[in-house]
Structure 1
Amino acid sequence: MNIEKSENTLVVVNYCRNCSKNLSPHAVFCNYCGGKIIKNRITVKNLLEDFNDRFLSIDGAFPKTFLALFRKPEDVIGGYINGVRKKYMSAFGYFALSLSIAGIYVFILREYFMDSIFESIAFPEEKNQAQLNFIKKFAASFNEYQALTSILSIPVLALISRIVFWNYKQFNYLEHTVIYLYAFSHINLTFYILAILTIWSPKLYYFFSFLGIIGYIIYLCYVLKRLYRLSFYKLIIKTSLFALVGSIFLIIITIIAVVIMAKMGMFDELIESIKAVNEAKN
């Protein structure tokens, strides 16, 4: 094979740079390790293409996955569990994309709309400033750890689901994790896109925030019904059981979170402000 050099082309060799096996002259991928044969030097374009291939696999797969998760979630989730890997975005790729959109949302909210969103909340009497400061501080802290919260939520939701569906042997715990990687990512992706589009209006923002909570519950029921082919009666039973087990987990997690927040001193400013107001009244 001829060896060429130019500003935009690497040295052309007749072996794979990944596994050192011999290549055919016009190979695009290595027949042994499957590695892509790179002939051009690094540019912004191929860096973005490599990032997309390794982590997101967006291209035409994203709109196809996004729409299918509304229409036939069992085709996307069940297909991935059963070994389908090319038709739709992977579970981790979709989750990574949702975290990326969430990061954009958090940046926009923190940098441009935090004050306008939270100053529209009305509080009675003198306590308003103390309460508002606490809520803004809490929201800022929650947004700062939003990605970590999302990552930790997946195994917890999968565990609750595995407990609720203990009598169904269709999916194991790791497969339940895949279910929530897709479902959690999908509702978050939908909510954050709507939030970014409506964040300029506090009223619309609050409406879609409330809608997001309701939408998550409805969508989760929809996904589980399609995956397990549940009757309406069984869906009600499983949803009620999920709410019960989830409430227990939520209470435990809330207690832990409050203890951590207290240790970090997040309540100190609020407590001192309330004390000062009460002393002024007396």
Structure 2
Amino acid sequence: MKCKNCNANLRTDFKYCPGCGAKVVLKRITFKGLFSDFFERLLNLENNFFKTIGHLTVWPEKVITSYVDGTRRKYLNPINYLTISLALSGILLFFLRRFALDKINFDVFGMDVSTSGSMKVMNIVMEYNNFIFLLYIPIIALAGYITLNQRSYNLPEYIVTGTYILSHTSLLTFPISMIIILGFPESYMAYSIFSLLIMLSYTLYVLLRIHRYSITITLLRGFLFCALYLIGYFGLSIGINLILLLTGQLQFKDFLPPEA
């Protein structure tokens, strides 16, 4: 018998190919097989998907330092974890468009914000949601690399850290986001501000567990990290609006308050 992937010779009792590691498949495709393959490949239960969720919540340093130090099978790798979070983000966008978009209160602070302009911005942002979502990873990576780096991580290692952090935050907030969209859509913008604080708090929690400092140094470096993080976050928001203005997708009149 030969491996269907690398053509290596196999014994009939082999479950995996010793050459390429592929699983030996002898049976025809069935619904049970498709369901099993879905969980094995997408959720990658063999690579401890649920352990990854649990440890990233309680002991995130175990997951991230293990991966950076070369342990690649103990936890779900950051790319697969990111793929799952992007899929859940797509589900949220579907429900947001379908059930909540026309009910959102954009004037959270009572500043006579233009609803039509805000709606236009949100529609464009939703169209490029996955790309914008990924841009937060380098913001986390750069802010952490500059301020919280006791282990002397290089930038690619911080990209891995940021990918785990952003993906896990997305997974943790998914149930809350769905409740807000379906039950309290008018509060979605206020919740978005709250979710930013959740992401910032969790990011700081993870980085301080990985890069241990004394209390005094922690306070100073933590403050600097928050400042750089918020500069990156609002800089990205401003940059998106500038690009939309320069490309003609938005106009200055879209930001004017509604006429009385």
**Shorter-chain TM-score: which interval?**
0.7 to 0.9
Cα drift, residue 273 of structure 1: 9.1
The partner residue of 2:173 within 182, 191, 197 is: 191
Structure 1 residues 1-282: aligned runs within 5 Å: 14-58=1-45, 61-118=48-105, 131-165=114-148, 168-199=150-181, 200-202=183-185, 205-206=188-189, 208-250=191-233, 252-268=235-251, 271=253, 277=259
Query: Which residue identity lines up with residue 166 of structure 2 in the other structure?
Result: F
Query: Which residue identity lines up with residue 85 of structure 1 in the other structure?
Result: R
> Which deviates the most, 113-122 or 208-217?
113-122
> Which deviates the most, 99-108 or 47-56?
47-56
- Give unpaired runs (5+ residues) of structure 2: none
Any conservation in 1 of the 2:144–2:207 contact (CA below 8 Å)? no
Partner SS, residue 228 of structure 2: helix
Cα drift, residue 104 of structure 1: 0.2
Query: Which residue identity lines up with residue 146 of structure 1 in the other structure?
Result: N
Shift in alpha-carbon separation, 1:38–1:276, aligned structure 2, 3 A: closer
Shift in alpha-carbon separation, 1:259–1:207, aligned structure 2, 3 A: closer
Residues 118-139 of structure 1: CA deviation (Å, up to 9, x unaligned): 4886978xx77xx111111111
- State how far apart, in whole Å, the 1-side matches of 2:55 and 2:32 are: 29
| CA root-mean-square deviation | 3.0
Cα drift, residue 20 of structure 1: 1.6
- State how far apart, in whole Å, the 2-side matches of 1:114 and 1:272 are: 18
- State how far apart, in whole Å, the 1-side matches of 2:235 and 2:189 are: 27
- State how far apart, in whole Å, the 2-side matches of 1:21 and 1:276 are: 70
Query: Which residue identity lines up with residue 140 of structure 2 in the other structure?
Result: L
Cα drift, residue 192 of structure 1: 2.6
Cα drift, residue 227 of structure 1: 0.4
- Give unpaired runs (5+ residues) of structure 1: 1-13
- State how far apart, in whole Å, the 1-side matches of 2:256 and 2:192 are: 29
Shift in alpha-carbon separation, 1:217–1:39, aligned structure 2, 3 A: same
Percent identical across equivalent pairs? 29
> Which deviates the most, 176-185 or 226-235?
226-235
- State how far apart, in whole Å, the 1-side matches of 2:214 and 2:32 are: 49
Residues 166-216 of structure 1: CA deviation (Å, up to 9, x unaligned): 6x3432211111111111111122223211123221366455433312211
Shift in alpha-carbon separation, 1:212–1:121, aligned structure 2, 3 A: closer
Shift in alpha-carbon separation, 1:152–1:44, aligned structure 2, 3 A: farther
